[in-house]
Amino acid sequence: MSRSLIDLAPPQERAILVGAPVKRSNARHHVQEHLDELARLADTAGAVVVGTLTQQLDRPDPSTYIGRGKVEELKQLITEKEATLIIFDDELSPAQGKNLEGELGKRTIDRAELILDIFAVRARSAEARMQVELAQLEYSLPRLVRMWTHLEKFRGGIGVRGPGETQLETDRRLVGHRIRLLKERLADVAKSREVQRGGRTGAFKAALVGYTNAGKSSILRAISRSSEVFVEDRLFATLDPLTREVDLGEHQSVLLTDTVGFIRKLPHHLVASFRATLEEVREADLLFHVIDASHPSWEEQRLVVDEVLADLGVAETPTRYVFNKMDALPLEQREALRARIENLAPGSIFVSAREEERGAAGLEPMRTVLRDALRARRPEVALMIPMTHGKLLAEVHRMGEVLSSEADEEEGVMRITGRFEPAALARLERDGAVRR
């Protein structure tokens, strides 16, 4: 079973990062930015970066991904920096990983394995731990041969089956059995989550989605005034979806859910494992795509998230871009960004969770969007309620947004105009309210 880098390694690994984009890909224009992000991932996993190596490839080498000359250069760099871990920014095939470890004599992983490791460390709930374990096992299954290289010397020739191969087959069966078990358990959890969502039927639901560390948790904490929402300036601080009620005033409220952040080259096993959790996104009436306005690569990050959302089948869900951390930009850059985005993506909003927490109205544009969305779903209706029915009158004010109220002394009724959820309106009519 896969374990964390932090569990397997000394207190701090000394890592060398390798970036080798294909020449014809756009990645070669962002090599340093991608390595900077990989360095942050390594830091989150508990490693210290001691060196980097880059190469532009016509095509990846099928045996070692990078060219023979770069492998030799990497060997020298390992010796100079006393490195203990090699991290590739691109995904390695099982054969490439095995060959590189044999050539370099050091543990070699790729970006996907590093992200899985971080998720393993940060998973807190039982569901998240099962999801991460499932992704790790599915990732490691084709790579089990790599883990048993220390038994190769026991393998014989034709017709001879050594203990290494026997153990490998045993491990494959055990891993396959564990994968089936985890999928069954996660299916049960998904059913429970569906029941929970059923209890929220009728409530307006919005979800925060976006690149990791864009500030989604900070927004949820500030707009819901929930101090227990965990916030940390690190990648993947939040893995479990968290829903809080947001009071919009005038007896209006919505449910807002914070979801796991996305990242470039997110392992597909991880996306598949977290699909049940991401059902919260599918159930949302409105998505807020949170973007870190202060990040130099926010445009690439936006496209990454849009691709994942399309893969999840929520491309048709109403979505508003939310440019967060506007307070981190100089005034001139703020105005230039606003002008550009208003042409690129009309309807985008600009906020600051930090200003909200300082007492300013940094998230008021989000509240306005939520109020408008709520009103659009709750058409204006006129009701008549007997003046003697005090309890029902109180329910009207509690369950909806009252726009006007007028007493009709002759008929002995209150004429009320307001906006109500369909379920609330049906309940009021059952209790005696008459639509006019």
pLDDT in tens, 359-377: 777 999 999 999 999 888 8
Residue 9 has pLDDT above 50, yes or no: no
Q: 5-122 and 379-435: same fold?
A: no
Residues annotated in a binding site: 210-217, 236-240, 258-261, 324-327, 352-354
Residues annotated in a binding site for Mg(2+): 217, 238
DSSP string, 142-172: GGHHHHTGGGGGG--STT---HHHHHHHHHH
* Superfamily covering domain 5-122: GTPase HflX, N-terminal domain (3.40.50.11060)
Find the mean pLDDT for residues 127-140.
84
Structure tokens at 169: 């087959």
What contacts 24+ positions apart, CB below 8 Å, involve 185-189?
A: 185/130, 186/127, 186/130, 186/131, 186/134, 186/273, 186/276, 187/276, 189/127, 189/130, 189/276
Q: What is the pLDDT of residue 230?
A: 65
Residue 299 has pLDDT above 50, yes or no: yes
Are 404 and 416 in contact, with CB atoms under 8 Å apart? yes
Bridge partners (DSSP) of residue 168 are none
Per CATH, the architecture of 203-375 is what? Answer: 3-Layer(aba) Sandwich (3.40)
pLDDT in tens, 139-156: 888 776 555 444 444 444
Find the mean pLDDT for residues 232-252.
77
**More reliable by pLDDT, 122 or 416:** 416
pTM, two decimals, is 0.77
Which of 22, 16, 159 has its CA nearest to residue 79?
A: 16
Contacts of 105 (CB under 8 A, 6+ apart): 78
E-strand stretches of 138-267: 205-210, 242-249, 252-258
Tokens 């990040």 map to which residue? Answer: 295
Find the mean pLDDT for residues 162-167.
53
Q: What is the pLDDT of residue 388?
A: 84
∠ CA 325-326-332, rounded to 5°: 150
Report percent pLDDT > 70 for the chain: 86
Does domain 379-435 fall into CATH 3.20.19.10? no
Domain ranges of the chain: 5-122, 137-197, 203-375, 379-435
Q: What is the pLDDT of residue 4?
A: 53
How far apart CA 157 and CA 166 sit, in angstroms, is: 14
Find the mean pLDDT for residues 258-270.
82
Residues annotated in a binding site for GTP: 210-217, 236-240, 258-261, 324-327, 352-354
Which of 26, 35, 30 has its CA nearest to residue 53?
A: 35
pLDDT in tens, 59-115: 899 999 998 999 999 999 999 999 999 999 988 998 999 899 999 999 999 998 898
Find the mean pLDDT for residues 110-136.
84
